[in-house]
Amino acid sequence: MAIFRYRLEVLLEQKRKALEEAHLAMAQRIATLRQAERRLTELQARAEQATQTANRSRDARFQSTGAMPAEELQRRCDEARWLHREAGWAHDAVLEQRMVTEDAVDALEAARRDVVEANRQVEVLQTHRARQEERHRREQERSESVEMDDVGSAQFQQRRAQ
């Protein structure tokens, strides 16, 4: 009986390797997304803290009892302006990180599509291989059957000749 050899085995192995690489790329995209989400959470907490600090500073400026020297009032105003700028910068950082996170989500979706496509290609070749193997098996059985018929006919002819 002849051994089955799939002529596209090299291509099938390449597709399997591409599928494995697509899985690895998707894992990297997941890790990148998780890191981006953690960073976004940190920046949101910092922005909230900066906003609260700026608001407390503003409220403290107006809760003074009694007369206040001009220098002290100016210092408090400058401090409040600075804190509000920091809060603005923190919110800008949050917006930038949201864009990075959205990009990471898009990259993950692209990686998922790549995995699905690679998986489909592997399945197509595996199905083709299974059909070819089944065809080979049927051909082998048919040829064995023909050989057995020939042997049987030859034996019959020998007995008949005797």
81 belongs to a structural domain: yes
- Quote the CA–CA distance of 62 and 103 in Å, as a whole number: 43
The total number of structural domains that make up the chain: 1
2 belongs to a structural domain: no
| Top mean-pLDDT range of 35-39, 139-143, 148-152 | 35-39
The amino acid that residue 122 corresponds to is V
Q: What is the pLDDT of residues 4-18, one digit of tens each?
A: 899 999 999 999 999
Domain that holds residue 106: 9-161
Model-level pTM? 0.74
Residue 62: per-residue pLDDT:
67
The amino acid that residue 64 corresponds to is S
Residues 60-71 as b or e (16 or more Cβ within 10 Å = b): ebeeeeeeeeee
Residue 105: per-residue pLDDT:
98
121 belongs to a structural domain: yes
What is the domain-level CATH number for residue 129?
Answer: 1.10.287.1700
Instruction: Compute the mean pLDDT over every residue in the chain, rounded to the nearest whole number.
Output: 91
Residue 1: per-residue pLDDT:
63
> Is the pLDDT assigned to residue 54 strictly greater than 90?
no
Q: Which of the two residues, 151 and 115, has the higher pLDDT score?
A: 115
Q: What is the pLDDT of residues 71-114, one digit of tens each?
A: 887 888 888 889 999 999 999 999 999 999 999 999 999 999 99
Q: Which of 15, 44, 35, 40 is nearest to 107 (CA)?
A: 35
68 belongs to a structural domain: yes
